[in-house]
Chains A and B, each alone.
Chain A
């Protein structure tokens, strides 16, 4: 019942965000009819194209027309790249952005969790102090600065890794080459996340280790490693999971920047280029898809709480 209520809320939120997206982009400067008309942008031709594209219809009618198409993944033709639909361009770009984001999350979690556990084991110790300082440093640096620096050191100076992603093979086709090209971009995106996750989890672990049941486990002589990983980590993960969900938006924004830096043909680079070219159908489609993805991820995060913490599932917490 709770899940059904939340699902209904999700649908409502999707309607609201897609409408807002459509409305805001509709009000943005620039005229899609002029973009399509190009050199023929006389007032008569522009008016004809506006009629053809239905741009003179009321906003609500245009929104519902668009929504009806969007449900079928028909977001209209690209105004800039004739012969391609918006969905074709997005379909080419989406897997790369997803891979970038997933790799970044996996890296961030894979690095932050062990470091947080190690730091929480000895609060104030050498590891704890070093990781805290490192985290603050990473949080202070913008991702594009980090990306340029990493690219310069590992790509230009050392020549170990490519500075751009070019002709990226699929993970199924050539996983080593794929990961080799995506390593620097993913690491750049992951570094800021590592700092956030590390700090959050470390604090929560320290609190959890002071709980009665944790101290009981210690007094019963259970190995420290077992206490940390099996008994303390899970209840300390709520904030981490929340942060992962909330950071999807930040991850998307960060991916935009990283994709330009490393020339990854993902959603971010597609959006930035098409905004500059006023390719409205593509931009509308990307923004709508990303916002729907964001609210959906947070819906899943909500559900995950109940899995992680039985107290929430049983209504105790």
Chain B
């Protein structure tokens, strides 16, 4: 009880100190956008902006009165297991015919940095790109790949060759045809780029067979290749504009009318859209306004100056879930996980006992209840429990006694456990890590927090210049996207440097087959290997604190879209990068 009260006091003091030092800076943080492309995630250090006003947690007046359990959750009751939602008076009625026309303004939390499809694209830009480009491949509501801009993707028997069949008559915004040569040029540029090429590791050759056919040959079996074409690699741009950052000439429902860095972007309806005969898109234009401050976004929404935005603020989400005049959509996947990345080649984390001790020492539910208003779920790995790929693993539970035993064993053999925890300069992250280090200290692990700039995480990770670092990533609807981050030889961005035959075997098995059961077993093996080796200290799945908040008149945000053949596509809030095609405004 004494330890618990000390932790509560530490929590309150941490929040007070951080708020005093940073001026309540949680509002200044850039939130994590719903994202799963490794390029954007790897270079984006936007963080979940959680409310530092955890006034629910008070230091107890009397230690004897402190209960053993964490404080009660303040989360709003969940409506169902699959999706948290709260529909306003307008709702997302599926029995009402969409109304064409109108413009909306969408508030973005992060700045856009450009549109070079062969470079690193920030989440702020991705929101805009999703209006400008249709990827070659989409996702159905079960997160299975489905042809989108491409008419078909056909593998050979052993998945070493994929044939992409294109749709006739599709043109880019500049009128140039989306033909075999254009698609091949785009894919080749993606492969040749030092920034994006690692995504196409197994790709050997890309050939335009004819105007409507592209052949992609692999050096090894790659059954999950189509999932790479769901996002950046699948965005096709007019060949003369490949590599251009200041504009995007693509195939999507909207065209880029203007872009002012650090301020805004405006996209207007594409009159030559390949699905125009379906009446798409419904909207005439979308104005994207970069509003980096959470308070500003909230006030702008409440004043009607923006029609929707992504809110990462847990207390705001809780309030809006009770507000009938607002629609709130919390997706089930596609959001990042919060974790602490460990460098497994650097002491003390080159010893699995230390990594497991760290995991055992951390009460993640306490962090969730304190800093997320209970809206998120504990993470045991990179897969959300709602994912069909999720498998139970033996990730170390909160067990201080087990942690202490491991620490004692290590200390007797080697010495005290001390390390530097690098944390982005963001009060909402710092306060979580401060409390986490207090848990570590309880079992005798001494962690020192050092703040780093938001742009330093990736360079530090690439240079292996860290022992432990706060991190936000993963959450891809399909786990093949995680290959590059975990495989010991094929993982260009194996941040933790973990070398594990089990991890490699699981990932390889899952990559080389399209049989669900086979892939599932592969990823189960992968998850268990991660749980055993603990190269990361998982905290929670952040989809619970990344809500799309819209006025009720805005439809098509949280409901499935439709492919050209009428099949449903995954909702925008479940990892589909916000395709704006089907969004419409009641007027």
Of B93-101, B126-134, B458-466, the one with at least 4 CB within 8 A of chain A = B458-466
A84 touches B261 (CB 8 A): yes
Number of B residues, CB within 8 Å of A: 49
Q: How far is the CB of A244 from chain B (nearest CB, A)?
A: 27
A162 touches B303 (CB 8 A): yes
- Select one of A159, A260, A276 contacting B296, CB under 8 A: A260
Q: Verify if B453 is at the interface (C-beta below 8 Å from A).
A: yes
Known A-B contacts A81-B261, A265-B264; the reply to A166 vs B287 at CB < 8 A is: yes
Chain B, residues 542-575, CB within 8 Å of chain A (1/0): the string is: 0000000000000000000000000000000000
A261 touches B293 (CB 8 A): yes
Q: Verify if B290 is at the interface (C-beta below 8 Å from A).
A: yes
Q: Which residues of B contact A164 (CB under 8 A)?
A: 289, 291, 296, 300, 305-306
- Select one of B260, B306, B452, B455 contacting A265, CB under 8 A: B260
Known A-B contacts A82-B245, A273-B262, A276-B453; the reply to A151 vs B289 at CB < 8 A is: no
Known A-B contacts A164-B289, A164-B296, A166-B305; the reply to A40 vs B194 at CB < 8 A is: yes
Chain B, residues 263-290, CB within 8 Å of chain A (1/0): the string is: 1101000000000000000000001011
Residue of B nearest to A93 (CB): B262
Chain B, residues 181-204, CB within 8 Å of chain A (1/0): the string is: 000000000000011001000000
Known A-B contacts A37-B459, A265-B260; the reply to A30 vs B111 at CB < 8 A is: no
Q: How far is the CB of B481 from chain A (nearest CB, A)?
A: 15
B455 touches A155 (CB 8 A): no
Q: Verify if B144 is at the interface (C-beta below 8 Å from A).
A: no
A263 touches B119 (CB 8 A): no
B245 touches A156 (CB 8 A): no
CA distance A37 to B454 in the complex (A): 15
User: Which residues of chain A in 222-265 are interfacial with respect to chain B, using CB atoms and an 8 Å cutoff?
Assistant: 260-263, 265
User: Which residues of chain B in 97-123 are interfacial with respect to chain A, using CB atoms and an 8 Å cutoff?
Assistant: 105, 111, 113-114, 116, 119-120
Q: Verify if A202 is at the interface (C-beta below 8 Å from B).
A: no
CA distance A229 to B195 in the complex (A): 67
- Which of B42, B120, B459 gathers most chain A CB within 10 Å? B459
Q: Which residues of B contact A46 (CB under 8 A)?
A: 459
Q: Verify if A34 is at the interface (C-beta below 8 Å from B).
A: yes
B453 touches A29 (CB 8 A): yes
CA distance A92 to B260 in the complex (A): 8
- Select one of A40, A45, A82, A278 contacting B114, CB under 8 A: A82
CA distance A83 to B493 in the complex (A): 27
Known A-B contacts A30-B455, A39-B493, A148-B299; the reply to A166 vs B264 at CB < 8 A is: yes
CA distance A58 to B292 in the complex (A): 37
Q: How far is the CB of A37 from chain B (nearest CB, A)?
A: 7
Q: Which residues of B contact A148 (CB under 8 A)?
A: 295, 299
Count the A-B residue pairs with Cβ separation under 8 angstroms: how many?
136
- Which of A31, A163, A262 gathers most chain B CB within 10 Å? A163
Q: Which residues of B contact A156 (CB under 8 A)?
A: 299, 302-303
Q: Verify if B489 is at the interface (C-beta below 8 Å from A).
A: no
Q: Verify if B402 is at the interface (C-beta below 8 Å from A).
A: no
CA distance A285 to B564 in the complex (A): 49
CA distance A273 to B262 in the complex (A): 7
CA distance A273 to B569 in the complex (A): 35
Known A-B contacts A82-B245, A83-B246; the reply to A39 vs B291 at CB < 8 A is: no
A277 touches B111 (CB 8 A): yes
B296 touches A163 (CB 8 A): yes
Q: How far is the CB of B32 from chain A (nearest CB, A)?
A: 15
Q: Verify if B244 is at the interface (C-beta below 8 Å from A).
A: yes
Q: Verify if A38 is at the interface (C-beta below 8 Å from B).
A: yes
A39 touches B42 (CB 8 A): yes
Q: Verify if B75 is at the interface (C-beta below 8 Å from A).
A: no
Residue of B nearest to A31 (CB): B459
A-side interface size class: 35 or more
CA distance A151 to B291 in the complex (A): 15
Q: Verify if B72 is at the interface (C-beta below 8 Å from A).
A: no
User: Which residues of chain A in 142-159 are interfacial with respect to chain B, using CB atoms and an 8 Å cutoff?
Assistant: 148, 151-152, 155-156, 159
A84 touches B300 (CB 8 A): no
Q: How far is the CB of A168 from chain B (nearest CB, A)?
A: 9
User: Which residues of chain A in 74-100 are interfacial with respect to chain B, using CB atoms and an 8 Å cutoff?
Assistant: 78, 80-84, 89, 92-93
CA distance A84 to B462 in the complex (A): 27
Q: Verify if A269 is at the interface (C-beta below 8 Å from B).
A: yes
B459 touches A41 (CB 8 A): yes
Q: How far is the CB of A200 from chain B (nearest CB, A)?
A: 28
A39 touches B195 (CB 8 A): yes
CA distance A40 to B461 in the complex (A): 11
Q: Verify if A35 is at the interface (C-beta below 8 Å from B).
A: yes
- Select one of A39, A83, A260 contacting B458, CB under 8 A: A39
A167 touches B287 (CB 8 A): yes
CA distance A153 to B111 in the complex (A): 28
CA distance A43 to B460 in the complex (A): 11
Residue of B nearest to A162 (CB): B305
Q: Verify if B39 is at the interface (C-beta below 8 Å from A).
A: yes
B300 touches A39 (CB 8 A): no
A30 touches B304 (CB 8 A): no
CA distance A162 to B303 in the complex (A): 7
Q: How far is the CB of A43 from chain B (nearest CB, A)?
A: 7
User: Which residues of chain B in 212-247 are interfacial with respect to chain A, using CB atoms and an 8 Å cutoff?
Assistant: 244-246
Q: Which residues of B contact A37 (CB under 8 A)?
A: 459
Q: Verify if B43 is at the interface (C-beta below 8 Å from A).
A: yes
B453 touches A30 (CB 8 A): yes
Q: Which residues of A contact B246 (CB under 8 A)?
A: 82-84
CA distance A40 to B458 in the complex (A): 9
Q: Verify if A103 is at the interface (C-beta below 8 Å from B).
A: no
B194 touches A163 (CB 8 A): no
B462 touches A35 (CB 8 A): no
B300 touches A263 (CB 8 A): yes
- Select one of A45, A152, A163 contacting B305, CB under 8 A: A163
Q: Which residues of A contact B114 (CB under 8 A)?
A: 81-83
Q: Verify if A270 is at the interface (C-beta below 8 Å from B).
A: yes
Q: Which residues of A contact B120 (CB under 8 A)?
A: 38-39
- Select one of B266, B293, B299, B452 contacting A152, CB under 8 A: B299
A260 touches B293 (CB 8 A): yes
Q: Verify if B456 is at the interface (C-beta below 8 Å from A).
A: yes
Q: How far is the CB of B38 from chain A (nearest CB, A)?
A: 9
- Select one of B105, B111, B455 contacting A35, CB under 8 A: B455
Known A-B contacts A83-B114, A265-B264; the reply to A155 vs B293 at CB < 8 A is: no
CA distance A83 to B185 in the complex (A): 21
B454 touches A263 (CB 8 A): no
CA distance A92 to B195 in the complex (A): 29
Q: Which residues of B contact A263 (CB under 8 A)?
A: 263, 289-291, 296, 300
Q: How far is the CB of B199 from chain A (nearest CB, A)?
A: 11
- Select one of A31, A41, A89, A155 contacting B261, CB under 8 A: A89
Q: Which residues of B contact A218 (CB under 8 A)?
A: none
Residue of A nearest to B306 (CB): A164
Q: Which residues of A contact B453 (CB under 8 A)?
A: 29-30, 276, 278
Q: How far is the CB of A161 from chain B (nearest CB, A)?
A: 9
Q: Which residues of B contact A89 (CB under 8 A)?
A: 261-262
- Which of A39, A155, A164 gathers most chain B CB within 10 Å? A39
Known A-B contacts A34-B456, A35-B455, A277-B455; the reply to A155 vs B305 at CB < 8 A is: yes
11 further A-B pairs in the complex, CB-CB below 8 A; given A260-B293, A276-B453? A29-B456, A30-B453, A35-B455, A39-B458, A40-B194, A82-B116, A155-B305, A156-B302, A164-B305, A269-B262, A269-B292
Contact sample, A vs B, 21 pairs, CB 8 Å cutoff: A34-B459, A35-B455, A39-B198, A43-B463, A81-B261, A89-B262, A92-B260, A148-B299, A151-B303, A152-B299, A159-B303, A163-B300, A163-B303, A164-B291, A164-B305, A261-B293, A261-B295, A263-B291, A265-B264, A273-B292, A278-B454
Give the 3 A-B CB pairs with smallest separation, nearest first. Answer: A265-B263, A34-B459, A83-B246
Chain A residues with a Cβ under 8 A of chain B: 29-31, 34-35, 37-43, 45-46, 78, 80-84, 89, 92-93, 148, 151-152, 155-156, 159, 162-164, 166-167, 260-263, 265, 269-270, 273-274, 276-278
